Structure 1
Amino acid sequence: MLLFYSNDHNTQAITDMITQQRMKQLKESLSQALNLFYPFAGRVKDKVTVDCNDEGVHFTEAKVSCSLAEFFNQPNLSSLIYKLLPKQVIMEVSAEGYTTMAKVTCFACGGMAVGTLISHMVADGAGASFFLNNWGSNSRISEFQHAFEFPTFDTPFPHNNAWPQDKNAMHLCCQFLNKDRLATRRFLFDEKAISRLRAQGSSSTVQNPTRVKVVASLLCKYAAKASKAKSGLERPTSVIHTINMRRRASPNFPNSCGKLCLAGHGFNEGKHY
């Protein structure tokens, strides 16, 4: 995950001292977050086990000579974006067994990028967001204490030792991923575009579609059109969305920080887009 922060004080010169203060603050707040999210500071032992030994995370600092605006205007942004992550290969566990890796890149304008890689051994996307929100709350300088919810790591589904280790979800997914065939594209949707899409997507059955639904539908629509233009055939289209089940389950598990998600499967026969 990549988070970008602009410099709120555009007229203020960003000195090395200010950068060092910000970096110190990020490290201290990260340490505070890891006290609660202790598996994130552990080490992967095997395909199903994390040793919560409190050895810490891999933290990298970097500087670039351009501004955030100049970076986003680069023609090869899709490949450059990965350089802001702590590691290039994102589907494999690090050789050292880190469950969490972070990289903070400071730009010449005073902005910064925080790149994180969190192993699916300890959290899914919702759990990772929970952790990052906590880290961010700890980083803010304020006279008020930020109230936040505490994570829980008690699994509602006990581990089945009889289940083969090589049949876990990550192992199965990696078999179908060919890194040489993966491509990255960046599409920007401003507020007006989202509003138009939501208006167009409204119907008697879906009266107020979410941002995720309308953007996903648009991408699916044009992916299907591209496939038809290339092959000349109207092929069925299948889309899979990961659904956070924490607040949908009964009873729910809103603060559970492991993995609690299901795949939602959408299917279109190719007749209507």
Structure 2
Amino acid sequence: MIKPSSPIPPHLRKLQLSFLDQLAPPIYIHIILYFQPSQHHHEYSKLETSRKLKQSLSDVLSIYYPLAGRIRDNSWVDCNDAGAEYIEARFNNDRILDASADIPLAVQVNFFGCSGTAIGVCVSHRLADAMSMVTFINAWAAACRGDSKTIAVTQPTFNLASRFPPVDFSGLFPSGPPPPRQKIVTKRFVFNERKLAALRKAASGPLMENPTRVEAVSAFIWRHFMESVSLKDNMNGENMVFATSHVVDIRARASPPLPHQFFGNACGRAVAMKTVSSEGQDNNYYDLAVKLREVIRKADADYVRRLEDGDAFLKYISANNENDPAFKDGRKNLEICSFTSWYRLPAYETDYGWGKPVWVSIINVPYKNLIFFLGTKSGNGIEAWVNMLEEDIAVIETNYELLGNIVKPQGI
């Protein structure tokens, strides 16, 4: 356990989670950074690198002190300096990086026989979103390489609850039996410049001449997910309702904007709906991309203002016409897929003192119909990590191959 290098003042001992933190799923988010072999990573240097990593982690935890505390009742953090879990492995390790329910942070450092290094970071989603996680990682890296200037400009603030006060969720979401276990497959699809160009052209039209990379890839996956489900499910003459949600960073959307240093879950969700009749219908990329853009743009300053009053926001969501009745009565003909984009996160800028990563990945996430977007090292591509049933993955893969010959992007 790595503890902060300096004790936390008593008046900072208790950190209240915000309404947005309460909305985050009770899971851990993971990221892995892979570094090329370096002349600094011979056997002696591995010991010195290990010492620097642990010392700098201790130093940065005195700044990011909630990560060294313990989560209590899923509603607040006891900033008690208990420490973050640090695991180190040589050559190979069978352990899957994770943490017990109340530990906010776990780190695993792997030294490989080729002298390459991988650093995996696991953060409780109750405490942080992906932007906060990567900001912390870059601060740790800056501390490791002795860059005090970078640390100074990334000083975090932990008062998100002052802007988004917590609410009482008790009795709001009735408990029921867990869904049946299904075999979820994780597959990575790399959309390089060639594939993205073909897809963005297919998703262009009079209302959207130049869809973004994220809009185009989201429309592609959503379309072929609907195609797969519609083909295999017996709809018995009923319409099928498909929903997709996109996580949106609200820092810049708020008025006034939230400072970049706000640590926590500063994000909301944009939900798009699509009804498919039992006779089936073609969902082209353009129509779906337009629908996605419309709902994402609705996550504006007014949306953020509603989030600032959690009780009122929950009432708004329950009464809003955008929420199809299928959400409320639990109909079986509703399928949801969820997107979260880490595409623009500065993970490839991380430098512990031996260079920037050659690849950044996540791990397999066994949650049905959850899709992550990561950037590529070149900055011109998107990696889509898709978690779905095997038969749905197969339909997406078939259409992915049709986008053009697979060309390995530069920097991958």
Shorter-chain TM-score bucket reads 0.7 to 0.9
Among 13, 16, 20, which residue is 2:47 paired with?
Answer: 20
Corresponding position: 1:267 with 2:273: yes
CA contact (8 A) 1:85 1:103 kept: no
Deviations 1:164-191 (A, max 9, x none): 45758xx98x986766543322222223
Using the TM superposition, give the Cα deviation of residue 84 of structure 1 relative to its aligned residue in structure 2, in angstroms: 6.9
**CA separation in 2, counterparts of 1:175 and 1:103?**
34
- Percent pairwise identity: 28
Using the TM superposition, give the Cα deviation of residue 248 of structure 1 relative to its aligned residue in structure 2, in angstroms: 0.5
Deviations 1:137-158 (A, max 9, x none): 333466x843632211112123
Corresponding position: 1:185 with 2:187: yes
Using the TM superposition, give the Cα deviation of residue 249 of structure 1 relative to its aligned residue in structure 2, in angstroms: 0.9
Among 83, 91, 97, which residue is 1:56 paired with?
Answer: 83
CA contact (8 A) 2:249 2:267 kept: yes
CA contact (8 A) 1:242 1:263 kept: yes
Provide the aligned length of Structure 1 versus Structure 2. 243
**2:338 corresponds to:** none
**CA separation in 2, counterparts of 1:221 and 1:146?**
42
**2:229 corresponds to:** 227
CA contact (8 A) 2:41 2:116 kept: no
Greater fraction of residues in strand: 2
Deviations 1:226-250 (A, max 9, x none): 2233237684421111111111111
TM-score between the two structures when normalised by the length of structure 2? 0.52
CA contact (8 A) 2:31 2:122 kept: no
Corresponding position: 1:31 with 2:58: yes
Instruction: Give me the CA root mean square deviation.
Output: 3.1
CA contact (8 A) 1:6 1:110 kept: no
User: What letter corresponds to residue 158 of structure 1 in structure 2?
Assistant: P
CA contact (8 A) 2:139 2:150 kept: no
**1:218 corresponds to:** 220
Among 142, 157, 169, which residue is 2:164 paired with?
Answer: 157
User: What letter corresponds to residue 189 of structure 1 in structure 2?
Assistant: F
User: What letter corresponds to residue 265 of structure 2 in structure 1?
Assistant: K
CA contact (8 A) 1:85 1:116 kept: no
Structure 2 unaligned runs (5+)? 1-29, 285-412
**In 2 relative to 1, CA 178–123 (structure 1 residues): closer, same or farther, beyond 3 Å?**
farther
TM-score between the two structures when normalised by the length of structure 1? 0.75
Deviations 1:24-63 (A, max 9, x none): 2222232232222111111112121210112210110112
**CA separation in 2, counterparts of 1:35 and 1:249?**
29
CA contact (8 A) 1:64 1:105 kept: yes
**In 2 relative to 1, CA 58–35 (structure 1 residues): closer, same or farther, beyond 3 Å?**
same
**CA separation in 2, counterparts of 1:86 and 1:125?**
17
User: What letter corresponds to residue 138 of structure 2 in structure 1?
Assistant: N
**CA separation in 2, counterparts of 1:126 and 1:212?**
17
- Counting only pairs closer than 5 Å after superposition, residues 120-159 of structure 1 correspond to structure 2 as 120-140=125-145, 145-146=149-150, 148-154=153-159, 155=161, 156-159=163-166
Structure 1 unaligned runs (5+)? 66-79, 88-92
**In 2 relative to 1, CA 225–159 (structure 1 residues): closer, same or farther, beyond 3 Å?**
closer
**In 2 relative to 1, CA 36–177 (structure 1 residues): closer, same or farther, beyond 3 Å?**
farther
